[in-house]
Structure 1
Amino acid sequence: MAREIYLVPIEASLKKKTAVTTNWISIDADGQGEILDVDKYAIMRRVQIHARDLRILDPLLSYPSTILGREKVVVLNLEHIKAIITADEVLLRDPLDDNVIPIVAELKRRLPQYNLTSQGQGEEEENPGLRNDMDTGEENEFPFEFRALEVALEAICSFLDARTRELETDTYPALDELTSMISSRNLDRVRKLKSAMTRLTNRVQKVRDELEQLLDDDDDMADLYLSRKLAGASSPVSGSGAPNWYPSSPTIGSKISRTSRASAVTVHEDNDVEELEMLLEAYFMQIDSTLNKLTTLREYIDDTEDYINIQLDNHRNQLIQLELFLSSGTVCLSIYSLVAAIFGMNIPYTWKEGHGYMFKWVVILTGILCASTFTFIISYARHKGLVGS
């Protein structure tokens, strides 16, 4: 009987799979957050970023700490902080992570730039001197991207400094305990702490190198001025001929008229990065201080290792001295045993007859010879510095 064959049609499961979605949170200039469960292509379309730049934020890929300035965004990859900063919003990856939740709360608290114009209108009429103070305050306010960058830098510096303090708290007592008692348990504990310190030092060093690279290149710092570039694209020249670097965005749109007057008085150059440079220098000094703590800790570990090696060398020398004493004693006893063995043989000697007292004197003289030989060996070793005095 012929066997029936059933053909199973190919289902739609072989179609192209959709991209894996990722949790992001969008925080705008008012501090309002919105959870986004979208794929990378939606993020690329939202902020107009290239795939190679977005790949830097992939946690599955081991990219070093990076701060990149692009045409309309700043790509931030600092340890667990993976963010995309635009002129009016911050996109933060994995907002439910334990290390990211405090950063989200801090961004919501510090990003809003409250409009002081409406609050000060009535006060200006009563006290005209407040007008100059408000104008000065507006000039000193950071753009949106700098406020977001400052929160990220403060968070990563505080995070690494906290890990350093925890490591110091665990390492110094362990080293002191190892110094007082050398054991396999204490050695293994210090080895694990040293490995953790090496990993933490590499992480701190990467963040420090990235900040140092930014500070050394004014063009890279100028790329981080998103508000300046946005204002230059919309209205590059103000009424007095001075560049107006402040955008008409939700961040500071309510203050555009007052900011325009302030920028008309103070002329900014394209390469004026003093504001950002002071911001980066402050956190560079902080991360450099953390690196100095780790360097001091490493030196303390190295000093402890040197002390342990000196102790082990001292014990080794004591064992060598003991071995020299035992070897010298063994040689002397061998001489004594040889004489005793010769006289203990049952061989007839004519000179033994009638001279029984000779055995006693041979034993005494042999003992004196062996003791003299032992004393001579030890004295010679001390004279040459082979054993301690």
Structure 2
Amino acid sequence: MGRDVVPVDPSQPAVGLKKTKARGWIRLDSSGQDTILDVDKYAIMHRVHIHARDLRILDPLLSYPSTILGRENAIVVNLEHIKAIITAEEVLLRDPSDDNVIPVVEELRRRLPLLNNTREDHGEGKELGGQNDGEAGEEDESPFEFRALEVALEAICSFLAARTTELETSAYPALDELTSKISSRNLDRVRKLKSGMTRLTARVQKVRDELEQLLDDDDDMADLYLSRKLSSASPLSGSAAASWFISSPNISSKISRASRASMATIRGDENDVEELEMLLEAYFMQIDGTLNKLTTLREYIDDTEDYINIQLDNHRNQLIQLELFLSSGTVCLSIYSLVAAIFGMNIPYTWNDNHGYMFKWVVSLSGIASAVLFLLIISYARLKGLVGS
């Protein structure tokens, strides 16, 4: 395995990352030292002892939803762009040159050495019988895998929260502009924002559901205690020990660190998952807050749609009013035309003799009656609220 590991040159970190952009892995141990791994999937499977179906979840070419799986010797983490395998002593992170993954790598480099050194100092203080700060001591009891998992959860929650903030910054002004002026451009802009919000909501919902599923099942959370399982299985048999030495030569260091990290837990209940439960609850509340923001934005979009529909209904009513006016005018003109046509026919009538003035009076009176009827129709429409004043 040594010939597959290429150490990172501190003076040229970017070059090393670019070489493994397509399918590279980066390994970070408990001391914060990072190493670029250019190996195939079989070497990864042999190193961390997981099945091919678990490694397939981390394939960037395949679309798998966000998930956190606890295995015998590793935690498989697939959270959007964060695809990692966490063991009791190291973190294997995929595609370290990705723009979204680089901050995660930097955070692991920054936090793991500090936390590890603090844990060692706290352990030495215990041996000497010294008394350390209560909060620091409580922090130092967290196993390595929980610290690495916390970095991944913090990164994905911050990433989704940032995307939600960007969406809110673009959506609310666009919705207000659409409310003030309905146009094809504004409608298309809001349509795109709504599509993006729907996709982002689905991503946030999946992460939230995964955390909620873990919190609801104590057995699944217990599977994530790798240090506890490693320390309880420290007396290895001959074949098992040989297999472990091949994949991970620092067995003695692993057993001692895992035993020290989970000493308080082993003395208590084996099924005690309170520490992990508090960790998951913190980020569950954070991702739930992000989902609530998206829900509020969706409600604002729905309210805007209702307002737009009301405006469209108002325009439709105005068109109906115009149609009513035209129909009323047509009826009045039809009455006038009917009277004029009857008295204007070239047919001899006995009652028409010496009464030519009657034609003029009747036609005039029919025109006046038509105009009065039109005014009465408009007054009735205003009275019923069908026409604005």
- Matched residue SS, 1:111: helix
Given that residues 26 and 36 in structure 1 are in contact (C-alpha distance below 8 angstroms), is that contact kept between their aligned partners in structure 2?
yes
- Matched residue SS, 1:76: strand
Structure 2 CA distance for aligned equivalents of residues 156 and 357 of structure 1: 95
Q: How many residues align?
A: 353
Given that residues 164 and 290 in structure 2 are in contact (C-alpha distance below 8 angstroms), is that contact kept between their aligned partners in structure 1?
yes
Q: How does 1:29-44 map to 2 (within 5 A)?
A: 29-44=30-45
Given that residues 230 and 258 in structure 2 are in contact (C-alpha distance below 8 angstroms), is that contact kept between their aligned partners in structure 1?
no
Given that residues 73 and 85 in structure 1 are in contact (C-alpha distance below 8 angstroms), is that contact kept between their aligned partners in structure 2?
yes
> What are the Cα deviations for residues 318-366 of structure 1, in whole angstroms up to 9, with x where unaligned?
2111211110111111111222234444444554454343232122210
Structure 1 CA distance for aligned equivalents of residues 43 and 123 of structure 2: 42
- The residue that corresponds to 2:15 in the other structure is none
Choose between structure 1 and 2: higher helix proportion: 2
Change (3 A) 1:139 1:350: closer
Q: Report how far residue 97 of structure 1 moved.
A: 0.7
Gaps of 5+ in 1: 1-20, 237-246
Aligned partner of 2:321: which letter?
Answer: Q
- The residue that corresponds to 2:109 in the other structure is 108
Q: CA RMSD in A?
A: 3.0
Given that residues 88 and 250 in structure 1 are in contact (C-alpha distance below 8 angstroms), is that contact kept between their aligned partners in structure 2?
no
- The residue that corresponds to 2:89 in the other structure is 88
- The residue that corresponds to 1:140 in the other structure is 139
Q: Report how far residue 372 of structure 1 moved.
A: 3.6
Change (3 A) 1:275 1:34: same
- The residue that corresponds to 1:242 in the other structure is none
- The residue that corresponds to 2:337 in the other structure is 337
Structure 2 CA distance for aligned equivalents of residues 185 and 264 of structure 1: 62
TM-score, normalised with respect to structure 1:
0.82
Q: Report how far residue 52 of structure 1 moved.
A: 1.0
- Matched residue SS, 2:300: helix
Structure 2 CA distance for aligned equivalents of residues 305 and 255 of structure 1: 57
- Matched residue SS, 1:87: coil
TM-score, normalised with respect to structure 2:
0.82
- Deviant stretches of 4+, over 6 Å: 117-125
- 247-256 or 286-295, larger mean C-alpha shift: 247-256
Aligned partner of 1:108: which letter?
Answer: R
Change (3 A) 1:348 1:89: same
Change (3 A) 1:143 1:369: same
Q: How does 1:24-173 map to 2 (within 5 A)?
A: 24-112=25-113, 113-115=115-117, 131-133=130-132, 137-141=136-140, 142-173=142-173
Aligned partner of 1:290: which letter?
Answer: T
Percent identity between matched residues is 76
Structure 2 CA distance for aligned equivalents of residues 176 and 296 of structure 1: 15
Change (3 A) 1:80 1:74: same
1:286 aligns with 2:286: yes
Q: How does 1:1-389 map to 2 (within 5 A)?
A: 22-112=23-113, 113-115=115-117, 131-133=130-132, 137-141=136-140, 142-234=142-234, 250=253, 253=256, 259=260, 263=263, 267-378=267-378, 381=381, 386-387=386-387
